[in-house]
Structure 1
Amino acid sequence: MTAATLAPPTAKFRDPQVTAKGERRAAVALGALSTLWFNTGTLCNLTCANCYIESSPRNDALVYISAAEVREYLDEIARDALPVEEVGFTGGEPFMNPDMLAMLADTLQRGFQALVLTNAMRPMMRHKDALAALNAAHPGQLTIRVSLDHYGAALHDLERGRGTFETTMQGMAWLAAEGFRINVAGRAAFGHEPEAALRQGYALLFAERGLPLDAADPVALMLFPEMDPAAEVPEITESCWGILGKSPDSVMCSSSRMVVRRRGAEHAVVLACTLLAYDPQFELGATLAEASRPVPLNHPHCAKFCVLGGAACSR
């Protein structure tokens, strides 16, 4: 079947196979599963102004995943000899999940690299003794990525609430003093500054606070594009790869998946990526084997964040 024989849908991002113009939509095959994410639950200690997953102290659309459920997926990795190198934990705020330390310990004991996304505030600090012990027992395996929207307190607090900047900086100071590997996640368009200016601002902050972070390193400081679902973005067709000079292998869903537990669901499910937790078309199955099928890029985030923005949530 050719693109010319396909009837175009009535609007963008409606048909997983065809764009609004009737062209074949790009899809991304899973090459090798190198990163497996677990969403620990959407509950968070903060209500941010622009949270892509709408986390808050009241949103439990994704409930706390359990250590037993995580263990099942880690067992599947071992049983099927999957090439997973890194296990990531995101939320919500992961350290609000009562099983977080158990899940992290299981991950590290199995030899995986572990990545935890956190605001480094009170939920993390409540576990500081156990967390420090895990880091000491597994040197070089654990990375804590801290959300710091801007290098200035005013803009960061505008997004996350008054006083959150200093509280997060205190958490980062503790992580640095304990020898943790730290990364920072910032926002590329926050304050409408060019990337070079943003990185310079973060560099000055890190130097002032004595934090061992290289702001020029795109992994140590990841600047994520904004995700506005109302923004006009192009659909990605099969021909776009050549036009853009990009490969499907550069997109997150070519190498990662995310596990979530929905409120009221009987079991956890595997999603195509970390960004599309609420769109049912990106729910791929209950097991990693079921979730190994290709992912049509049928969402604005696929275009703006991943293909055009070039962002990736893992290393």
Structure 2
Amino acid sequence: MKDAADIAPRTANAGKFSDPDVTAKGEPRAHVALTRAETLWFNTGTLCNIECENCYILSSPTNDALVYITEAEVTEYLDQIEARKWPVREIAFTGGEPFMNPQMIGMARAALARGYDVLILTNAMRPMMRKSMRAGIIELNDAYPGKMTFRISVDHWSEDLHDKERGKGALARTLEGMDWLRDTGVPMAVAGRTVWGESEAEGRAGYARLYAERGYAIDAADPGATVLFPEMDEEAEVPEITTGCWDILGTSPDAVMCASSRMVVKRKGAARPAVLACTLLPYAPEFELGETLAEAERQVSLNHPHCAKFCVLGGASCSA
């Protein structure tokens, strides 16, 4: 099993993504400023109840490279949002599996109590379905109706392909959790993948059939409700993003995820959490911006293959 300490160095993109300011061709590298801080992410810890075939963060039942963040630590960053006057509308929780963290309900409650929308990324399996977690979810959904959304990891709408990624029987257990959320009235979204050799239209049609069969109030055609992510392959050859790319691509730095979000993590052995530029690069030290939101206000160099393939060229965003 891979762990965070044993990630192999990239062999693709040789000579690229080494200088934060200049590309391999000597052109000025693109940077992105935090222009509209709309989402603050918290990684609840890398421990997960399952180990997926291609997990970008290497979550597993044994990987605790990112340890459980606490309600007190989350509350401290909520205080910082108010002190910095960030225009945050959404607090989002990811993992690992967030419901492995015993303080998940308390952390969500702390954000909801301050008026934020809450997004929780989960596989909707056994950790979420524990009696204490279900009781907490019901309590929060009743107290803050419509303010909390669960984005469920459904890698593919078919059992065969989903289970190929997550293990035999995984989809059935996830659907059991989704059925409970449906019956409880908790708003749901879905995160899937686009690596199955089918067109986006075919994929969305498959999700639409699944939703109709199960009675899920999820829009398969809405990219914010059914988010389809490309595979994050660090070995793929990708172009570097220069300052001239924005006009060529017809896009803007403001459209990139790091213009509107930051993520807080707690590294194993660290005294305090740290703020990262990107949810997708938890192990890249050059994307760690400091311990505070004030430090995290600086611009980000697009100095990683994921910046190009996933965010700029793919147009992806982890927020709703």
Same fold (TM over 0.5): yes
Letter in 2 for 1:271: L
8 Å CA contact retained: 1:306, 1:312: yes
- Deviation of 1:71 after TM superposition, in Å, equals 0.7
8 Å CA contact retained: 1:146, 1:185: yes
1:65 pairs, out of 33, 49, 69, with 69
Verify: 1:40 aligned to 2:44, yes or no. Answer: yes
- Partners of 2:14 and 2:208 in 1: CA distance: 47
2:250 pairs, out of 242, 245, 264, with 245
Give the percent of matched residue pairs that are identical in Structure 1 and Structure 2.
63
* Correspondence for 1:270: 275
* Correspondence for 1:289: 294
* Correspondence for 1:102: 106
* C-alpha distance after superposition, 1:155-202 (max 9, x if no partner): 00000000000000111111111111100000012x210000000011
1:18 pairs, out of 12, 17, 22, with 22
Gaps spanning 5+ residues in structure 1: where? 1-8
- Deviation of 1:10 after TM superposition, in Å, equals 7.3
2:125 pairs, out of 121, 124, 127, with 121
* Correspondence for 2:3: none
Letter in 2 for 1:16: P
Return structure 1 stretches of 4+ with deviation > 4 angstroms: none
Give the alignment's TM-score, normalised by structure 1: 0.96
- Partners of 1:92 and 1:186 in 2: CA distance: 16
Paired residues in the alignment total: 306
SS at match of 2:73: helix
Verify: 1:91 aligned to 2:95, yes or no. Answer: yes
* Correspondence for 2:232: 227
- Partners of 2:149 and 2:248 in 1: CA distance: 36
2:187 pairs, out of 181, 188, 195, with 181
SS at match of 2:179: helix
Instruction: Tell me whether 79-88 or 41-50 shows the greater mean CA deviation.
Output: 79-88
- Deviation of 1:80 after TM superposition, in Å, equals 2.5
1:157 pairs, out of 148, 158, 163, with 163
2:213 pairs, out of 195, 208, 215, with 208
- Deviation of 1:79 after TM superposition, in Å, equals 2.1
8 Å CA contact retained: 1:10, 1:20: no
- Partners of 1:295 and 1:123 in 2: CA distance: 35
- Partners of 2:214 and 2:149 in 1: CA distance: 19
- Deviation of 1:133 after TM superposition, in Å, equals 1.1
Q: Over the residues paired in the alignment, what is the CA RMSD in angstroms?
A: 1.0
8 Å CA contact retained: 1:55, 1:92: yes
Letter in 2 for 1:217: D
SS at match of 1:134: helix
8 Å CA contact retained: 1:87, 1:112: yes
